[in-house]
Amino acid sequence: MTSLKLKERIEGQAYESHGQSFYELNEKEQFIVVGNAVMEQLVPRWIESKNKFKKKKQAYYLSAEFLMGRALSNNLVNLGMEDEVKRTLAEMGVDYNALEEAEDDAGLGNGGLGRLAACFLDSGATLDYPLSGYGILYQYGIFKQNFVNGFQVEEADPWLEHDNPWLIKNSNDTRVVEFSEEDKVEAVPYDMPIVGYGGETINTLRLWKAEAINKFDFNAFDEGKYIESVRAQNEAETISRILYPNDSTYEGKRLRLRQQYFFTSASLQDLMEKYKAEGHKNYDDFSKMHSIQLNDTHPAMAIPELIRLLENEGVEFEKAFDITQKSMAYTNHTLLAEALEVWEKDLFISAVPNLYPYIEQINARLIGELKEWNVDESDWHKYLIIQNNSIHMAFMSIYATSAVNGVAAIHTELLKTDVIKAWHDIFPDRILNKTNGITQRRWLLQSNPQLSEMITDLIGSKDWITDLMKLKGIEGRFEEEEVLERFIDIKKEKKVELADYIRFHEEVDIDPDSIFDIQIKRLHEYKRQLMMAFYIADLYNRIKADPDADWTKRSFIFGAKAAPGYYAAKSIIKFINELANRVNKDPEVNNIIKVVFVENYGVSYAEKLFPAADVSEQISLAGKEASGTGNMKFMLNGAVTVGTMDGANVEIVEEAGRENNYIFGMEVEEVVEKRGKYDPQKALKKTEGLKDVVESLVDGTFNDNNTGMFQDLYDSLIHEDQYFVLEDFASYREAQDQIESDFKDPKMFYRKGFINMANAGKFSSDRTLEEYAKEIWLVNKG
């Protein structure tokens, strides 16, 4: 398309949608207009992609969240239109970067599970696989995070407040979701294009919005009952109102259940209607045409719901179970018992009364098989879906699907040998490993164009964009002086960009010549953000004791949201902010170290943080992190990992070498051995300087505004220390001090980062997606 044609299209869209010239619009409106112009180009290709996959087996990814990030640049890069659009806008006198910033991050996800789903969709389209996503069109994201006096304060994230050019309403495919005979809502689909690199394949993410069947009660309104007249609509829309409502209350739990049923039921009805529309007279071939991936247990209701829907179509239970089992697979994302969803039976029946009888049938079938397998009744608690007045969604997901996969080698091994060992003993071939991955299109090509250009120059082609293993071919190039210097210069450039961004958004100055040591992820105690904070507090004390020593400048950067009901996590945020306040205001220390906790961490902020990092913090307690994907994004952008042998860290070290990273702490076997024998106070006493840091929680050094938060943190540490923060602290400090020492020789330090980058090929989501497609879904390319 010529610049003139694109200008005409943009101007035409502006007049059509706003009745004004493009030049009269604000940046938000201009972004929407440009997005609509891009969609004009995109939609015909999208239709072609749908047609080429018709009557072929397809894969469907059911997930409660898709952490998509902004779409404008991603779509332009993958369509090959980025240069053209930027050039045209420049000719029109429009700042493309301002337009890009005007796009809100899609409020459809929160953490690694949702970002993985987004990466998979990108890889599926890029590799030309028929992969569609199904989820919920949340009106509000999880929340916008603000800090007030150091406390996390949540406010609504109305990401759909303005028009969104990437969403197309498809009312013809509206489905009715039936919680009970009296309780029904409409599921209205909105489709988002997922553009593969090169633009040849465009797949679909279908998101369901909940609406009332009878949206307005005129009689109630006519009688002056104005609130009552729209009550049904408000109650229905609550289902898709917000991502992950606070489930610390009964009503919050009930809403989560209704959300999960809502999107799984609508999605399955969608698949069945399309199956029938293709001319199938019965459901004998349903599993031959559909592979449904359950992304964790959030979509596990799809199992009994598909059986229910099939029975409604006249399929008897045993056949319906067989079809369901052959059609579905389950990804386990956690080793934490509390994250393996278990619902109280009465709560479940209250939320989804129609579904419970089918779970009873599945459980009864399981009991029959346990008897056939001669499993001793004393061991049935390791399997039963319904027990102790509760429903175990993970057990149902293992039993009623054809494959179960872990997301890193060590995670999968722990599933087999510990978490679900009993199931592995019965189904030795069912549990598979599929180590997670990330898309290099967003996390390198888009977010780090400088490094992308260097890689292309070194390889001699852009093949790495769709085959990340090509990076391996440049591993030895760090020995060339000019190559390493260029790598260091790029890292410095990205650090300057981040420092400028942080200065503007957080009002904190950080020195681009300092070590950028970054921990960005969901705030959870097992991820041990607190241990990093303790290291900073200890380092502060050491600098105060000897301010004239040869200290290396360091900037410690955190980014994380705590779930609204997670008190301990919010306490840690408050502590880190108090620590930052103390460090950053002390003139004797703040020229050596700085601490920043960035507000409202999300995908767009991440795209600036990962390329600028020198050190990647992956310090979870061994055996707790399933995989991680942030560790891969840091690695791909040339950071070294300071971490435990946990999750995908194990494989990162295998690929890049232990000598090029900073591994510390107990390994899984040591953690298991210590559990039950551990005395936190002994760990506290044996580690020099640690007692002062821990005592500072309660000795008045830091102010928790009389909430008692810091006392609670202190008590949990000295009495239990569930995640062995105190035990692993000395080893962590030793690794951190080694980083400080090594950074004094920048070339030696950045060689390690270069080697990590060159060995990141395994961690492409393209590789992961290929494994799913060939070994679990059994789908072919278009």
β-partners of residue 153 are 146
d(CA 472, CA 654): 14
Report residue 566: phi and psi, to 5°: -95, 90
Catalytic residue among 264, 629, 641, 644: 629
Provide the token pair at 643.
């971490």
Catalytic residue among 522, 561, 574, 733: 522
Rounded distance between C-alpha atoms, residue 25 and residue 18, angstroms: 8
Active site residue 521: yes
Closest by CA position to 736, among listed 617, 594, 566: 617
Question: How much is the CA Rg of the chain, to the nearest whole Å?
Answer: 27
Cα 65 to Cα 766: distance, rounded to the nearest angstrom = 20
Of the residues 308, 527, 528, 561, only one is catalytic, namely 527
* CA dist., res. 554 & res. 557, Å (int): 10
Residue 719, Cα to own-chain centre: how many angstroms?
33
Angle 359-361-363 from CA coordinates, rounded to 5° = 70
Residue with tokens 């493309």, as numbered in its chain: 96
State yes or no: is 472 an active-site residue: no
- φ/ψ (deg, to 5) at 59: -105, 145
What is the distance in angstroms between the CA of the first residue and the CA of the last residue of the chain? 26
User: Contact 456/136 with Cβ under 8 angstroms?
Assistant: no
Contact 512, 551 (CB under 8 A): no
> 10 Å Cβ neighbour count for 744?
10
Catalytically annotated residue among 175, 290, 298, 333: 333
629 is catalytic: yes
**204 is an active site residue:** no
H helices of 195-292, in order, are: 218-222, 226-229, 231-238, 250-277, 286-289
With beta carbons less than 8 A apart as the criterion, state whether 142 and 113 touch.
Answer: no
Q: Is 333 a catalytic residue?
A: yes
Look at residues 394, 450, 402 and name the one whose alpha carbon lies nearest to residue 422.
394
**Alpha helices (runs of H) in 436-528, residue ranges in sequence order:** 440, 449-459, 481-506
Q: Tell me, yes or no, if 774 is annotated catalytic.
A: no
- Give the active site residue among 175, 258, 521, 524: 521
Separation between Cα atoms, residue 53 and residue 565, nearest integer Å: 44
Candidate list 633, 733, 752, 762, residue with the active-site label: 633
* Residues catalogued as catalytic: 333, 521-522, 527, 629, 633
